[in-house]
Chains A and B, each alone.
Chain A
Amino acid sequence: MKAKLIPVFFASFLLAQVAFGQVEESPDQRYQDLVAEVEIANQAWKARLAELRKAEKKGGPSLPADAFQSPLIPFVAKFDSAAKEYADTANAIPYLTWMAQNALPMVGDQRKAAKNAVRTLVTTHRKSPSLEKLEWMIGRLDYFYDEKQALEVGLQLEKESPSSKVRAYATFSRVGATINKAPVDSDDFRQAKEEILKVLEGVEMKDLASSVKTRIKMRENFSLGMSPPDIVGLDLDGAKFSLSDYKGKVLFIDFWGDW
């Protein structure tokens, strides 16, 4: 009987030590616990919003201003503080990634913290394969840096990241502006197009590839000074119509909807 009680006693002793902060949680466990807390807060927020909406539908008060405020806001400081504790070690990566993925759409200090998190990830942790999770953030380094720094950071990623996806996003960050803005008949445009298409050939990145190819097609086929395909068919009244019949007039074409 006594022998059976020993492990139970030992486990309770350990739990008590964790509870009183005498045994530190592992960084991974700490991260999991924090994410679980976020999930609980998220569920509570959704439930409150549903209740408020229900009450409003029944003629109760209209939704308060804070009803849509993200429940994640108070957590940004917690993730930030953990990331700072683990600074310069790989243990900081999940915390920084969480901030980048969740706090960027926020405002003020939270957004600032998220931008800093991205900057830390793409420099200090540039060799981590988990940078893949940042996706478009690496493809738009100009959002986090001035032009010169964005170029430097991107080139370093292209050279040193072990992930072909990260390298492709970094290449896009470098040549994306040229693809978007340079004249389609310029050498800069041709070179940027060749470079990004070559990089995309070797990686499984359907979203980036399709968005880049569409963009190139759009620039090449539908830039200012080019003619779009004709519109032929029936108008809303059922009458036959061909847009090219209006050739010789200035056409103001409004793509609209009833929203």
Chain B
Amino acid sequence: MNNRPFALIGVNSDDLDRAQAAVRKNEINWRSFQNKPKGSESSISDDWLLYTWPTIVVLDADFKVRYRGGDCDEATAIALRLVSELDGKPAEFDAQLKADLK
């Protein structure tokens, strides 16, 4: 998905050490945050009113929610369609990204 209008972002619910270790262990190559960094008053999931894990949220180019839920295949299909609508190229995910998401 390089050079296409798409970004994969992770929000991790573990403490910092464990999250960093998980990134190394699972060779995660997308940008991630802590859900509730030390010292912060609220968590991202609270702000976003998410209560189940794992959850996926897909936002379109206007920053509007197009999907929220736990179905990775459905979320992927919606994201692909949106990317394709944006750049006019076929809705194909590269194999590496698909493998990462599984």
Flag the segment in A10-18, A175-183, A235-243 that touches B.
A235-243
CA distance A213 to B26 in the complex (A): 38
Evaluate whether A256 and B83 lie within 8 angstroms (CB atoms) in the complex, with A228-B48, A248-B61, A249-B5 already known. no
CB of A65 within 8 A of chain B?
no
Let me know if B63 and A252 touch, CB within 8 A: no
Q: Assign chain B's interface to a size class.
A: 35 or more
A234–B53 CA distance with the chains assembled, in angstroms: 22
Total interface residues on A, using CB and 8 Å? Answer: 33
**CB of A204 closer than 8 Å to a CB of B:** no
User: Contact at A255–B56, with CB atoms within 8 Å?
Assistant: yes
- Chain A CB within 10 A, most for which of B8, B14, B21, B49: B49
Looking at the assembled complex, report how far the CB atom of B55 sits from the nearest CB atom of chain A, in whole angstroms: 4
| 8 A Cβ contacts from B24-76 to A | 25-26, 30-35, 37, 40, 44-45, 47-50, 53-68, 75-76
The contact of A252 among B37, B64, B75, by CB within 8 Å, is B75
Flag if A231 contacts B44 (CB, 8 Å). Answer: yes
Given known contacts A217-B49, A248-B61, is B56 in contact with A253 (CB within 8 Å)? yes
B7 CB contact (under 8 Å) in A214, A236, A246: A246
B50 lies within 8 A of A255 (CB): yes
Q: Do A222 and B65 have beta carbons less than 8 Å apart? A: yes
Give every chain B residue within 8 A of A228 (Cβ-Cβ).
47-48, 57, 59, 63, 65
Taking CB atoms, residues of chain A closer than 8 Å to B50 are: 255
**Contact indicator A255/B61 (Cβ below 8 Å):** no
A227 adjacent to B63 (CB under 8 Å): yes
Q: Smallest CB–CB gap between B41 and chain A, Å?
A: 12
For the complex formed, measure the closest distance between the CB of A253 and the CB atoms of chain B, giving whole angstroms.
Answer: 5
Evaluate contact between A250 and B54: CB separation under 8 angstroms.
no
Whether A251 is near chain B, meaning CB under 8 Å from some CB there, is yes
Q: Which residues of A contact B63 (CB under 8 A)?
A: 227-228, 244, 247, 251
With an 8 A cutoff between CB atoms, is A129 at the interface?
A: no
A residues within 8 A CB of B11?
A: 231, 253-256
